[in-house]
Chain A
């Protein structure tokens, strides 16, 4: 079974631009979550989608948004990029809910210059 796939692996953007990251969950997984990982803050929860609906949201500004499609694939968008948005963005999927463990992709490394 294929794992969680994230594209692209690397991105370089300029301040003020916007970016869209993509995630394909493990087949059969309906929950998709997004995390930001930085050396200083570690892994921080952005949001979770289940059946195309945002089920949970972390403490990030509204510039961070996401969506989930009917095939469970998900995208996240960051608008008006800031230097501090440079991070590894990780997508994770799980079968149903938090009674099953998260399976992470290898992430998208975003660099904002």
Chain B
């Protein structure tokens, strides 16, 4: 898993398995959370977001879970594919101001065929 501000951890999964990437955010006042995927040589790509009034949100093959009690965010990827190999970042925002958008250092996901 990852925590905002720590070194880059790595997660290795088998193709077809489910992946869970974790993030511990820092500010209990944060009210908007975003997951990004960054492939080598590219900029971060928006995956899914969730607001603090929700516990769970689902997208295509991805689910984000938010546990405000322990300030924990997770990204679940179903049926992981080789194309999912990338660095995944969580970001937290409080107060609606761009200057308060804090990115984690990222988790590197490697998918084994």
Kindly list chain B residues whose C-beta atoms are within 8 Å of the C-beta of A92: 43
In the bound complex, what is the Cα–Cα distance between A98 and B93 (angstroms)?
A: 8
Q: Known A90-B43, A106-B43; judge A98-B103 contact (CB<8 A).
A: no
In the assembled complex, which residues on chain B have CB atoms less than 8 Å from the CB atom of A43? 44, 89, 103
Chain B residues within 8 Å of chain A by Cβ, number:
21
Q: Any chain B CB within 8 A of the CB of A33? A: yes
A102 at interface by CB-CB < 8 Å: yes
| Segment of B18-26, B69-77, B94-102 in the binding face | B94-102
A4 touches B43 (CB 8 A): yes
Q: A56 with B49: in contact, given A101-B34, A106-B42 (CB under 8 Å)?
A: no
CB-based contact B49/A90 at 8 Å: no
- One digit per residue, 1 when the CB lies within 8 angstroms of any chain A CB and 0 when it does not, for chain B 87-113 equals 001000100111101011110000000
User: Does B89 contact A33, Cβ atoms closer than 8 Å?
Assistant: no
Is A45 positioned at the interface, with any CB of B under 8 Å from its CB?
Answer: yes
Count of interface residues, chain A, beta-carbon cutoff 8 Å: 24
Give A53 to B106 CA distance when docked, in angstroms: 31
Query: Is A105's CB under 8 angstroms from B106's CB?
Result: no
Asked if A90 and B98 sit within 8 Å, CB to CB, the answer is no
A48 touches B43 (CB 8 A): no
Do the beta carbons of B41 and A98 come within 8 Å of each other?
Answer: no
Residues of B within 8 A of A (CB): 32, 34, 36, 41-46, 49, 89, 93, 96-99, 101, 103-106
A residues contacting B by CB (< 8 A) are 4, 6, 31, 33, 42-43, 45, 48, 55-58, 90, 92, 97-99, 101-107
Extra pairs beyond A42-B104, A98-B97 (16, CB < 8 Å): A6-B43, A43-B44, A43-B89, A45-B99, A56-B97, A90-B43, A90-B44, A97-B96, A97-B98, A98-B101, A99-B96, A102-B34, A102-B44, A103-B46, A104-B36, A107-B43
